[in-house]
Amino acid sequence: MSSSPFGCNAKKSSLGNSLKAKEAIPREPVTLIADKKYQIITAIIPYNSKQAAAIRQHMHANITIDGQRVFIFRTSNGWTTVALDATESNPKLTGNPITVLKLAFTKFNECTAVSNVTIKWAGSDEIMTYEDIDQMEAQFEPLPDAQPDADIVTTKGDADYLMDKLNEIEKKVDDKVHELGKKIEETTGMMMAEIGDKMRSIDGQIDDLISAIRGDGGAPISSVLTPTTADRRSKKRPRKGEASSSIDLN
């Protein structure tokens, strides 16, 4: 008798599965690099590993000064204490290097995903301890004084450029509207003056006509009638049985 197709897979051990689930993910190391010349502290933390996300979240939540993150990520140099608004002529840090080293060393060691924390000078393989941090302060070089940023003075960003163009266009539109308004005002004034003159002329003719009709010494009706109207009134038709005055009786 052939075996059932449902029995072709070996039965898995529930004990093996439970043991595998309980396997702990190995902790991972963190290194703090101190730069003497620029006072920059760089945090070398795991990337794309099993503990990377947990260590990164712990860093963001716990390594802060006045509620602001200490380590800022930049593609060129990773997680460092270089401030977001820092420039070549105006160097800025998120915190004093000694303060950052003590804070980062303590908080990274509190993270359950971190195996150990080491401190090194940039370019050196010598490992230092927490007790060595205070002695490191005298070895940091002072940061240069902030200078006016040439890039900011001479070069405008896209937003500034667009705003300048918008203001320039707006001014041109305002000038055109003002010019058009003046032309409309001048044209309207000329039209109103012309209309006024014509209305006064018509009013005068009406007054003369009324005076002539009333016979109060005004101009005779024929003088206020148009030539066409006067001609029609002068050409009377002869009455029935009456000869036209234009017929020669001789």
- List average pLDDT for each run of 10 residues in the chain, which is 250 residues long: 48 54 84 97 96 97 97 94 92 97 98 97 96 96 74 55 76 79 82 84 82 66 52 54 49
Amino acid 71: pLDDT: 98
Supply the pTM of this predicted model.
0.53
Amino acid 208: pLDDT: 80
Report the SS3 class of residue 87: coil
Report the SS3 class of residue 50: coil
Q: Which residues contact 59 (CB under 8 A, 6 or more apart)?
A: 43, 45, 71, 79, 107, 108, 111
Amino acid 22: pLDDT: 55
Amino acid 214: pLDDT: 78
At 237, give phi and psi (nearest 5°): -80, 140
Amino acid 249: pLDDT: 46
What stretches of the chain show up as alpha helix (H) in DSSP? 14-21, 52-62, 97-110, 133-136, 150-154, 158-214, 221-224, 227-234
Distance CA 29, CA 105 (A): 12
Candidates 105, 126, 114, 40; CA nearest to 77 is 40
Amino acid 192: pLDDT: 85
Token pair belonging to 57: 């979240």
